[in-house]
Amino acid sequence: MDKQSTKKDEHDKDDEEEDNNDSKLLKEEVNAALKELPFAVEHIAVSEKLPHNDDIVYLNITTCES
């Protein structure tokens, strides 16, 4: 294996680790938001029908009415 291939493999591995970190961060942010909103919402959950990935998450929310 030449140096260029090794550098590319290391770069790909770094990108994959960064993507995993971004995914974990997004999940942490969503979970934090879910914990902060119970006073204002009756129901909140990640949509099971709409796609989600490391960059976007769709939520189903039913607000409380006074």
The pLDDT of residue 6 is 59
Q: pLDDT tier at 49 (50, 70, 90 boundaries)?
A: very high
Query: Domain total for the chain?
Result: 1
Which has the closest alpha carbon to 37: 22, 59, 7, 58?
59
Q: Which two tokens stand for residue 12?
A: 């790909």
**Structural domain harbouring 55:** 3-63
CA distances for 2 relative to 6, 10, 28, angstroms: 6, 13, 39
Give 8-48 pLDDT, tens digit per residue.
Answer: 566 566 666 666 777 788 778 878 887 888 888 888 888 89
